[in-house]
Each structure stands twice: as structure tokens, then as C-alpha cells.
A = this chain, B = another copy of it.
Amino acid sequence: MTIITYDYFMPETHAAPERFPVTVDVVALTVRDGELNVLLITRLIEPFRGKLAFPGGFVLAGEDLLEAAGRELAEETGVEHLPGHLEQLGSYGPKGRDPRGDVLTVAHLLLAPDFPVLSAGSDAEQAAWYPIRDVLEGRLELAFDHARILDDALERAKSKLEYSPLGAAFCGEEFTIAQLRSVYEAVWGTRLDPRNFHRKATGTPGFLEDTGRMTTGDAGRPAALFRLAPDARPTPGQPTRAVLNPPLMRPQAVDPK
């Protein structure tokens, strides 16, 4: 049996290595009025003209993936400094994603507090927030394989909330327990018991930090303002290590005997 070994740039390789156009796409999620929303642009050109798509574009020479994703998002929203947490989601392709040819795309996930996107002129691809529900229930159609990527993004977001402190990435710097809870409710599509949620959120070591400040002006009793504890703060791009998980099967040390 012959073993064929390919190697980067190896002259012996049968042909020059294939090169692919590489794009980054960003699935930006936020919670508005208790509903999960996603940032989409309206395509002005074919293919999928008039359909909605994630902000994104080509990776440029000398750029890394996360860098490119941040740049594209900033460009297409007109927002200079992105709030929230950006991380890589996964890569798709290159086969059969684009009618014009093979394109590899590296999808990213942004979990962010609600931020306003710039209203561009009518000749630009307008970015705007759309309720996820409208996409899932078929009232809005996405271009390319973006519906599938959105599914993966939602799955990722849901499990992030389960095992990491990243729910707080949807909130601003300071937030109340109720605001945090509404994030969980929106992402999971469930209602949570406010009392048990409060107990768990405040009772998890290394998760929240009381700022000492309170809300004022809202209806009802004022709420304490919290922020993420230093250890729980995400490093942008880094897969966040879960801080607060009672996992399935825990590394449970035992006397070596």
C-alpha cells in the first residue's frame, strides 16, 4: 500500500495547493425587550439579492480571523468600539455554499448588549436588529447557508449560558439580577423563577460582584447593581472557561492510596 503524504508547499505535491477565498461572518446576538435579536444586513446584489445575511466579508492579507471579524462588524454597523464578547463559532464550506464558487467562511459569535447601528444611506447594505423568532418561524429568509449557521450560533449561545458567565455579556457593565434573568429567559425561551435565579446567581462563587449601587426610578423596589467578578470576565476571542458549573461528571479527586 502506498501512503500519499501531502505537505504544505511541498514541490512534490501533485499540484499547487488549492487556494480559497476566506470570509468571516458575525452572528451578533442581543436581547431587546425580552426577545433575542440578531444583526442582519440586507443584500443589495446577487446572489440572494434582497435577502438578509450576517455582516461579514473577506479576510484580508495579514489579518487574523478574529481581527477580520471585528473589522467587518465595525465597518458594517458604523460602530467603532464593539461591546460584548466576540468568539469564533466554526468554519463552513468551502463546498456548495455560494453559487459563484467555493468559499470558506469562519463564523463568529458576538454576544452583546443592545447597541444602535448606524443608519447608512440607501445605497449601503443596511444593518439592523431583527427578532430571531421572525427568522426561525420563516417570516424572514437568510442568504447562503446562514440559517444553518444561525442554528449553530443559537445552540452555542444557549450552552454558553448554561456553563459560563457569558450571559452577562448581553448586559452592560452593571446590571440587576432581573436584567440578567431576562437574558437567560430570552435565550432559552423559558421563564425562570426570580427567587431561585436570584439565589443561584448571587450564590455562585466567582460569578457576580455587588457594586454597592442600586437602581432608582424604576417601578417597584430598587434592585442592587452587580457586575461580573474579575475572574469571570471573558477574554475576547478566548473560549471562556466555565466558572460556575455543576457538570455532569466532575473531576472528583480521590486519595491515590
| Chain A contacts to B: CB under 8 angstroms | 1, 3-10, 13, 17-23, 41, 45, 57-65, 72, 75-76, 78, 88, 90-96, 98, 100-104, 106, 118, 120, 124-125, 152, 155, 158-159, 161-164, 167, 184, 188-193, 196-197, 200-201, 204, 239, 241-242, 244-256
Q: CB-CB < 8 A to A13: which residues of B?
A: 58
Least distance between A204 CB and chain B CB atoms (Å):
7
3 nearest CB pairs, A to B: A6-B57, A19-B19, A162-B247
Copies in the complex: 2
Complex CA–CA separation, A58 to B62 (angstroms): 20
The closest CB in chain B to the CB of A61 belongs to: B18
Are B120 and A162 closer than 8 Å at their CB atoms?
Answer: no
Complex CA–CA separation, A182 to B55 (angstroms): 45
Q: List 15 A-B contacts (CB under 8 A).
A: A1-B118, A3-B120, A7-B57, A9-B100, A18-B21, A20-B20, A65-B91, A65-B93, A65-B104, A90-B90, A91-B106, A155-B239, A163-B247, A191-B253, A200-B249
Are B94 and A91 closer than 8 Å at their CB atoms?
Answer: no
